[in-house]
C-alpha cells in the first residue's frame, strides 16, 4: 500500500508542467509591439496615453519591458493635485484664525483669586468639607495679608460649622499676625445648633426610604428632640413613603411642635407631600393618619386655599371635623426673638438646605413690603437649592421689588454670588 501511495505523487507532479502553456508567449508577432514602444523614445513629446497603452503589451514579453526607459516621464502624474486647485491650505488657515469663536474663548483677565474661591465653595456645597478645608489652609498660606482675607473668612466659618474650636483659635493667632487686625470670635450661639467635631448633628433628623414600624428609629429620635423642646431640622429629601402607623406618629409630633411654637424645619418635603397628596382620594375612607399628616404638611409648606380644599375632602371622607388653618411661625423665629434687638418679620431658614424647591416662598414673600430672608442659621446651601432660589426671586425682582438676604455665612454668601443670586437680591454678610 505504501509503494502504491508513493507512486501517486509522481503522477501528480507532471500536472504542473502540463499547465505551462506560457512558453508559447515568445511569439514573433510581439516584435511589432517593440517597434511601437521605440517610437515614443524617438519622440518624447508623444502623449502619455500612448505610452501607457504600449506598456500593457510588454506584459506579454518581459524581456522587451526592460529597455523601456520612457516610463521615467511617469512623474508627470503630478498634475493630479493641480486638478484640485479649488482647495487651498492658505484659505483654510485664514478662516480658522479669524474665527470669532477663537476670539471668545481666549480670556486674558481671569481673576485667579476668584477662581480659587469658587473652587472652595463648590466643594463645600457638595459636602466635601475635608477637601475644602485642605484647599483653604493652602490658600491662606499663599495669599498672605489682606489680599487673601476672603480665604481666611471662609476657613473661619468652616471651622466654626465643624465645631473645631482649637483650630479656630489657632487660626485667629495666625490671622492677627498676617493681617494685623483682630480675628473673628467663636460664636456659642451658632455652635449650639451645629454638630460637634466628629459627631452627628443633635438637631438634625433624616427621614428616608419607606418608613414602617420596623424602621422607626428616626421618628423616635424626632419624638425625643421635641420632648426636649430642641430646635430641629428634618431632612425629608429622600423620604419615599410611610405606613399608617408612622404617618400617625409624624402627624402628632408635628402638631405638638406647632402648638408649642417649637422650631421644626422640614427640608425637601415637597416631593413626599406630592406623592402623599396623589395617593389620597376623596371619598375613599382609608389611610386616615396619612390624611392628617398631609394636612399638617400643608400647614407648613402649602397655601391656605390648598389646605382648605383638602380639609373639606377629609371631612367628607371621614365625617370628622378637619383641623383649621393656622399661620405657622417661620422656622427660627423663636431664636430670633431670644436674640438681642427687636423681632422682625423676616423669613428664617435653618440647617442645611439641600434639594429645596422653595415652592411656598413666593406666597410667603407677598406678605411683606420688604421681604427679608434670614440665613443666619443656615450652615450649607447646595447648588440645586441655590438655583431654585434664583428662579423664585427673579420674578419678584423683575416686578421692581427689593429683596434682602441677611446674614449668610461666607461659604453660603460666596456660593450665592457664583450662581448670580446677588443680582436678584441684596446680600448682607455680617461684619467680621
Q: Other C-beta atoms within 10 Å of 81: how many?
A: 9
Sequence-distant contacts of 177-181: CB under 8 A, at least 24 apart: 178/140, 178/144, 178/145, 178/152, 179/145, 179/146, 179/149, 179/152
pLDDT at 293: 94
pLDDT digits (tens, 9 = 90+) for 54-70: 444 444 444 444 445 45
Pair (306, 231) in one structural domain: yes
Residue 176 lies in a domain: yes
Residue 150 lies in a domain: yes
H-state helical runs in 321-382: 333-338, 361-365
Pair (397, 293) in one structural domain: no
Residue 330 lies in a domain: no
> Residue 402 maps to which CATH number?
3.30.750.24
pLDDT at 331: 40
Pair (185, 269) in one structural domain: no
H or E stretch covering 375: strand 372-381
144, pLDDT greater than 60: yes
Which residue range(s) make up the domain with 376?
Answer: 335-428
Indicate the Cα dihedral angle 225, 228, 233, 236, nearest 10°: 30
H or E stretch covering 8: helix 2-12
52, pLDDT greater than 70: no
Query: What is the DSSP code string of 293-315?
Result: HHHHHHHHHS-HHHHHHHHHHHH
Q: Rounded to an integer, what distance in angstroms lies between the CA atom of residue 266 and that of residue 249?
A: 16
pLDDT at 323: 85
380, pLDDT greater than 70: yes
Pair (127, 210) in one structural domain: no
pLDDT-derived band of residue 190, with 50, 70 and 90 as boundaries? low
Q: Rounded to an integer, what distance in angstroms lies between the CA atom of residue 245 and that of residue 249?
A: 7
86, pLDDT greater than 90: no
36 alpha-carbon distance from chain centroid = 78
Average pLDDT over residues 361-374: 84
Average pLDDT over residues 378-398: 92
Q: Other C-beta atoms within 10 Å of 401: how many?
A: 15
pLDDT digits (tens, 9 = 90+) for 99-115: 222 222 334 455 788 89
pLDDT at 330: 42
Average pLDDT over residues 163-184: 89
pLDDT-derived band of residue 422, with 50, 70 and 90 as boundaries? very high
pLDDT-derived band of residue 348, with 50, 70 and 90 as boundaries? confident
Q: Rounded to an integer, what distance in angstroms lies between the CA atom of residue 109 and that of residue 261?
A: 52
pLDDT at 99: 28
Residue 245 lies in a domain: yes
pLDDT at 148: 85
Half-sphere exposure (Cβ direction) of 160: Cα atoms closer than 13 Å: 25
Pair (305, 356) in one structural domain: no
H-state helical runs in 43-78: 48-56, 62-65
pLDDT at 242: 93
Domain-ending residue, one of 290, 318, 346: 318
Residue pair 16/47 in contact (Cβ under 8 Å)? The answer is no
H-state helical runs in 280-402: 288-301, 304-318, 333-338, 361-365, 383-398
pTM, entire model: 0.47
For residue 280 the three cell numbers come to: 389620597
88, pLDDT greater than 70: no
Q: Rounded to an integer, what distance in angstroms lies between the CA atom of residue 132 and that of residue 128?
A: 6
Work out the mean pLDDT of the chain and round it to a whole number.
74
Pair (257, 168) in one structural domain: no
pLDDT at 65: 47
Average pLDDT over residues 336-362: 68
Q: Say how many residues make up the chain.
A: 432
* Residue 343, helix vs strand vs coil: coil
pLDDT at 118: 93
Domain count along the chain:
3
Average pLDDT over residues 261-289: 88
Lowest mean pLDDT among 1-5, 49-53, 335-339, 349-353: 335-339
Pair (393, 413) in one structural domain: yes
Domain-ending residue, one of 318, 350, 372: 318
Q: Rounded to an integer, what distance in angstroms lies between the CA atom of residue 280 and that of residue 303?
A: 18
The residues pairing with 352 across neighbouring beta strands, listed in sequence order, are 380
Q: What percent of the chain has pLDDT over 90?
A: 33
7, pLDDT greater than 70: no
Q: Rounded to an integer, what distance in angstroms lies between the CA atom of residue 293 and that of residue 374?
A: 28
pLDDT-derived band of residue 39, with 50, 70 and 90 as boundaries? very low
292, pLDDT greater than 90: yes
Residue 242 lies in a domain: yes
Domain-ending residue, one of 318, 351, 381: 318
Average pLDDT over residues 229-241: 84
Q: Rounded to an integer, what distance in angstroms lies between the CA atom of residue 188 and that of residue 194?
A: 10
pLDDT at 182: 87
pLDDT digits (tens, 9 = 90+) for 194-219: 443 333 344 678 888 899 988 888 89
**Cα Rg, the chain, nearest whole Å:** 42
Residue 244 lies in a domain: yes
Pair (116, 179) in one structural domain: yes
Phi, psi of 176 (to 5 degrees): -60, -40
Amino acid at each position: 500500500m505504501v509503494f502504491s501511495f508513493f507512486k501517486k505523487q509522481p503522477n501528480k507532479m507532471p500536472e504542473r508542467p502540463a499547465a505551462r502553456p506560457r512558453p508559447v508567449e515568445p511569439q514573433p508577432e510581439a516584435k511589432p509591439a517593440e517597434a511601437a514602444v521605440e517610437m515614443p523614445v524617438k519622440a518624447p513629446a508623444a502623449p502619455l496615453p500612448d505610452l501607457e497603452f504600449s506598456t500593457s503589451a510588454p506584459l506579454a514579453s518581459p524581456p522587451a519591458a526592460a529597455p523601456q526607459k520612457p516610463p521615467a516621464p511617469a512623474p508627470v502624474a503630478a498634475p493630479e493635485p493641480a486638478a484640485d486647485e479649488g482647495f487651498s491650505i492658505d484659505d483654510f488657515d485664514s478662516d480658522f484664525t479669524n474665527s470669532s469663536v477663537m476670539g471668545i474663548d481666549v480670556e486674558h483677565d481671569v481673576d485667579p483669586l476668584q477662581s480659587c474661591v469658587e473652587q472652595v465653595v463648590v466643594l463645600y456645597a457638595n459636602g466635601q468639607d475635608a477637601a475644602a478645608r485642605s484647599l483653604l489652609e493652602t490658600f491662606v498660606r499663599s495669599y498672605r495679608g489682606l489680599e487673601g482675607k476672603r480665604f481666611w473668612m471662609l476657613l473661619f466659618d468652616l471651622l466654626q460649622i465643624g465645631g473645631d474650636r482649637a483650630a479656630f483659635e489657632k487660626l485667629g493667632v495666625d490671622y492677627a499676625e498676617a493681617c494685623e487686625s483682630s480675628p473673628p470670635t467663636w460664636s456659642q450661639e451658632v455652635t449650639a445648633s451645629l454638630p460637634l467635631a466628629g459627631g452627628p448633628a443633635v438637631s438634625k433628623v433624616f427621614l428616608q426610604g419607606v418608613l414602617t414600624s420596623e424602621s422607626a428609629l428616626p421618628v423616635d429620635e424626632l419624638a425625643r428632640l421635641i420632648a426636649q423642646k430642641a430646635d430641629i431640622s428634618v431632612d425629608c429629601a429622600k423620604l419615599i413613603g410611610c405606613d399608617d402607623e408612622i404617618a400617625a406618629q409624624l402627624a402628632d409630633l408635628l402638631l405638638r411642635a406647632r402648638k408649642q411654637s417649637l422650631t421644626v424645619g422640614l427640608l425637601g418635603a415637597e416631593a413626599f407631600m406630592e406623592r402623599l397628596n396623589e395617593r389620597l382620594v376623596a371619598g375613599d375612607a382609608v389611610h386616615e393618619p396619612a390624611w392628617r399628616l398631609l394636612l399638617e404638611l400643608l400647614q407648613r409648606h402649602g397655601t391656605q386655599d390648598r389646605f382648605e380644599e383638602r380639609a373639606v375632602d377629609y371631612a367628607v371622607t371621614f365625617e370628622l371635623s378637619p383641623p383649621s388653618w393656622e399661620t405657622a411661625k417661620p422656622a427660627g423665629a423663636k431664636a430670633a426673638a431670644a436674640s438681642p434687638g427687636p423681632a422682625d418679620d423676616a423669613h428664617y431658614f435653618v440647617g442645611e438646605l439641600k434639594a429645596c424647591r422653595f415652592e411656598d416662598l413666593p406666597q410667603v414673600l407677598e406678605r411683606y413690603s420688604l421681604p427679608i430672608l434670614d440665613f443666619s442659621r443656615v450652615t450649607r446651601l447646595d447648588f440645586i437649592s441655590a438655583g431654585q432660589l434664583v428662579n423664585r426671586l427673579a420674578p419678584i425682582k423683575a416686578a421692581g421689588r427689593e429683596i434682602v438676604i441677611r446674614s449668610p455665612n461666607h461659604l453660603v454668601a460666596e456660593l450665592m454670588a457664583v450662581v448670580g443670586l446677588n443680582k436678584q437680591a441684596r446680600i448682607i454678610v455680617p461684619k467680621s
